[in-house]
Amino acid sequence: MGHLCEFCEKQRSIVYCQSDAASLCLSCDRNVHSANALSRRHSRTLLCERCNSNPAVVRCIEEKISLCQNCDWIGHGSSTPASAHKKQTINCYSGCPSAAELSGIWSFVLEFPSVDDSNCEQELGLMSINENSVTDYWGPPETNRMIDLAVASGMDDVEKLDKSNNWMGSSTPVVKPMTCSVDQPAGSVNSKTHKLCCPGTKGLGLCEDDDHYEDFTVDDIDMNFENYEELFGISQNLPEQFFENGGIDSLFGLQDIFATGNNSQAESATEGSSAGQVKAMQPACSNAVSADSMMSSKTEPNLCLPARQAYSSFSHSFSGMTGESSAGDYQDCVVSSMFLMGEPPWYPPSLENSNPSASRDSAVMRYKEKKKTRKFDKKIRYASRKARADVRRRVKGRFIKAGESYDYDPLCQTRSF
């Protein structure tokens, strides 16, 4: 018996709503998300049947179990006998699908308990499945950039982007591909899987094939790295180069610590730091360098100043995560994904050498700008209130009475005076 539905608290939770950050049974899922147009946009997916807390990204066909990326890595890591298990990518969906429609998305949905369709039959038409969305979603790089933006901002923003930019030339993609490669042994992190696929609770990446790899985009989610190019001002080939050169740690010079066998120092510095929270929640990825070690490295004097500055901000970002955060929260950001990846590439840096310090400083500056706009632990309890706040006019950031003059209108970015 898994965890109970957070709504009815009676039935076993089956699906995970990313927008509500709640696990629901199928019946409540349909009831809750048929309430209004906004709730129908909520992106949902299956709940991990192992940890019962994170959204599932793959289903192990042989074990007949849906797993989040954490559990997938743990259970199907390259060093495990189950690494060769065949897996099926789990798509997320929105709208108000019937059980039959769910089975269309997930063939194994038929294994689920029956659902009373009576509540929401009239809403079935709202459920749409864009099978082509996989390709579209990961279209050309310039599109990816926009998509990344959208993903990073959540579904509502996807909608906005859809309207404002018409980025797909079609209506809102309802079924979004969850991340990670299909039929690829979990935990095998090679040069290709460096292209992270973060099964975030807000956004979903996809690494379906090599073509998609080439158009790699990092699901940055909470970190709000719109993309690496924007963040670090380097070429679109960065992801390959980036990871080959040791990832973000090399960018920040962290590998110095590990290269010099200074792990103990880094680890010891962790104690008492806020990053310890991360340690407590660190998944059991044996070869993943602990996040707290990464954190603590901010105290490492070997770091060059810009790197320290950047990484200080970086670690602050992590410290901003509360103890309530789950491991899945960490999946929301690319860096944490690197922490969680089976085999993080701690290679000696060459990226640093290939980039002038000026560009690095500018990258750090851009990162800080990004950081300013970052929000942590913001759980929207009432989407309707958010929707109102999002469109409410303001004066110096404060809400104003309807009809009064304003200096900021979220809808049109204009002023009334």
Residues within the interface to DNA (CB under 7 A): 313, 316, 320, 368, 371-372, 378-382, 384-386, 388-390, 392, 394, 396-402, 408, 410
**212: helix, coil or strand?**
helix
Q: Which stretches of 60-154 are DSSP H helices?
A: 69-76, 99-105, 133-137, 141-153
Smaller CB separation from DNA, 166 or 401: 401
Q: How far apart are CA 220 and CA 277, in angstroms?
A: 21
Shortest reach from residue 152's CB to DNA, in Å: 14
Nearer to DNA, 142 or 390 (CB): 390
CB closer to DNA, 121 vs 390: 390
Query: Beta 44-46 vs 58-60: how paired, if at all?
Result: unpaired
The DSSP secondary-structure symbol of 195 reads: S
Q: What angle do CA 199, 186, 86 make, to 5 degrees?
A: 105
* Cβ pair 156, 301 in contact under 8 A: no
List, in sequence order, every residue forming a beta bridge with 23; answer none if it has no partner.
16
Between 64 and 388, whose beta carbon lies closer to DNA?
388
Nearer to DNA, 3 or 398 (CB): 398
Question: Least distance in Å: CB of 11 to DNA?
Answer: 20
Give the gyration radius of the chain's Cα atoms.
22
Pairing relationship of beta strands 87-89 and 58-60 according to DSSP bridges: antiparallel
For DNA, the closer of residues 183 and 390 by Cβ is 390
CB of 156 to DNA, least distance (A): 9
CA 78, CA 57: separation in Å to the nearest integer? 18
Minimum Å gap between C-beta 12 and DNA is 23
| Residue 86 or 160 with smaller CB distance to DNA | 160
**H or E element: which one contains 283?**
none
Q: Which helix (H) or strand (E) holds 62?
A: none
SS3 16: strand
CB contact set of 375 (below 8 Å; sequence gap of 6+): none
- Of 160 and 279, the one with the shorter C-beta distance to DNA is 160
CB of 402 to DNA, least distance (A): 4
Shortest spacing between CB 56 and DNA, in angstroms: 25
Handedness of CA 192, 200, 372, 311 (dihedral sign): negative
Q: Which is nearer to DNA, 86 or 316 (CB)?
A: 316
**Shortest Cβ distance from residue 64 to DNA (Å)?**
37
- Beta bridge partners, 65, equal 60
Give strand ranges (E) for 141-189.
Answer: none
Chain CA centroid to CA 67, Å = 16
185 and 76 in contact (C-beta within 8 Å)?
yes
We find the least distance from the C-beta atom of residue 153 to DNA, in angstroms, to be 10
Q: Smallest distance from the beta carbon of 155 to DNA, in angstroms? A: 13
